[in-house]
Amino acid sequence: MDFPNGPWNKTAVAQWAGHPVTIYQNAEKILLMLVFDEADDKSVKGLLVLMKKPFLVEGSPDAFAEAQSRSLVVVQKVSREAKRTFLLVEATPAYIEYSQAKLFDSVRAGCDELEALGKIVADIASVHGTKATELRRVPPEIGDALTGDPLLLFLMPASGVAAGAPTEAAKIMLLGTDADGKAVETSTVLLKRAAIAGSGQKQAQALQVLCENALLAETPCIIIDSYGTLGGMGERNAEPDCKRFCEANDLQPQGFALSKALFGADFSIDLTVVSASAFAKTFRLTDEIRQALPALMPPTLQDAAEQARGGRAVRAMRVLQKQYSSLFGRAAISPPAAGGIYVNLSRQPGEVRTLAIISLLNSLQNGNAFVAMNEDLAGAPDELKGAIAALENRGFSYACCAAHPSDLSFVKDPTLAIEAVGEETIATIHGEKRRFILRPTLSKKSA
DSSP 95-152: EEES-HHHHHHHHHHHHHHHHHHHHHHHHHHHHTT-EEEEGGGS-HHHHHHHHT-HHH
Yes or no: say if 11 and 24 are a contact pair by the CB < 8 Å rule.
yes
Yes or no: say if 49 and 98 are a contact pair by the CB < 8 Å rule.
no
Q: At what angle do helices 350-363 and 382-389 cross, to 10 degrees?
A: 30
Amino acid at 60: S
Least confident of 213-227, 234-248, 293-307: 293-307
Long-range contacts of 33-38 (CB under 8 A, 24+ apart): 33/153, 33/156, 33/157, 34/103, 35/157, 37/95
Using alpha carbons, list the distances in angstroms from residue 429 to 181, 314, 416. Answer: 19, 51, 6
Most confident of 125-139, 144-158, 221-235: 221-235
Q: In whole angstroms, give the CA distance from residue 41 to residue 225.
A: 68
**In this predicted structure, what is the pLDDT of residue 265?**
84
Least confident of 57-71, 164-178, 332-346, 404-418: 57-71
Confidence of residue 187 (pLDDT cuts 50, 70, 90): confident
**337 CB burial (10 A radius; 0-12, 13-18, 19+):** exposed
The string of pLDDT tens digits covering residues 283-329 is 889 999 989 998 888 888 888 899 988 899 999 999 998 888 788 88
Q: In whole angstroms, give the CA distance from residue 33 to residue 227.
A: 54
Yes or no: say if 415 and 428 are a contact pair by the CB < 8 Å rule.
no
| pLDDT at residue 181 tops 80 | yes
Residue 31: Cβ within 10 Å count: 23
Which residues on adjacent β-strands are paired with residue 385? none
| pLDDT at residue 216 tops 70 | yes
Residue 209: Cβ within 10 Å count: 23
Q: Which of 211, 124, 172 is nearest to 398 (CA)?
A: 211
Confidence of residue 233 (pLDDT cuts 50, 70, 90): very high
Amino acid at 402: A
Using the 8-state DSSP alphabet, how is residue 370 labeled? E
Q: Which of 298, 295, 294 is nearest to 271 (CA)?
A: 298
Confidence of residue 397 (pLDDT cuts 50, 70, 90): very high
Q: In whole angstroms, give the CA distance from residue 64 to residue 120.
A: 11
Yes or no: say if 76 and 85 are a contact pair by the CB < 8 Å rule.
yes
**Could you tell me how far CA 246 lies from the centroid of its own chain?**
22
Confidence of residue 167 (pLDDT cuts 50, 70, 90): very low
Mean pLDDT throughout 17-42?
Answer: 87
Q: Which of 163, 194, 174 is nearest to 245 (CA)?
A: 174
Which residues on adjacent β-strands are paired with residue 84? 77
Amino acid at 399: A
Predicted model pTM: 0.76
Q: In whole angstroms, give the CA distance from residue 180 to residue 185.
A: 14
Yes or no: say if 116 and 126 are a contact pair by the CB < 8 Å rule.
no
| pLDDT at residue 165 tops 60 | no
Amino acid at 169: A
Share above pLDDT 90 across residues of the chain, in percent, rounded to a whole number? 38
Average pLDDT of the chain to the nearest whole number:
86
The string of pLDDT tens digits covering residues 348-383 is 988 889 999 999 999 898 888 999 999 999 989 899
**In this predicted structure, what is the pLDDT of residue 370?**
96
| pLDDT at residue 161 tops 60 | no
**In this predicted structure, what is the pLDDT of residue 163?**
35
Least confident of 112-121, 213-222, 257-266, 310-319: 112-121
Report the alpha-carbon angle 344-222-66, nearest 5. 165
DSSP 306-334: HH--SHHHHHHHHHHHHHHGGGBSS---P
Confidence of residue 18 (pLDDT cuts 50, 70, 90): confident
Evaluated on CA atoms 249, 117, 26, 43, the torsion sign reads: negative
**389 CB burial (10 A radius; 0-12, 13-18, 19+):** middle
3-state SS class at 42: coil
| pLDDT at residue 230 tops 70 | yes
Distance linking the first and last C-alpha atoms of the chain: 57
Using CA atoms in the order 436, 437, 442, 443, what is the torsion angle rounded to 10 degrees?
A: 120
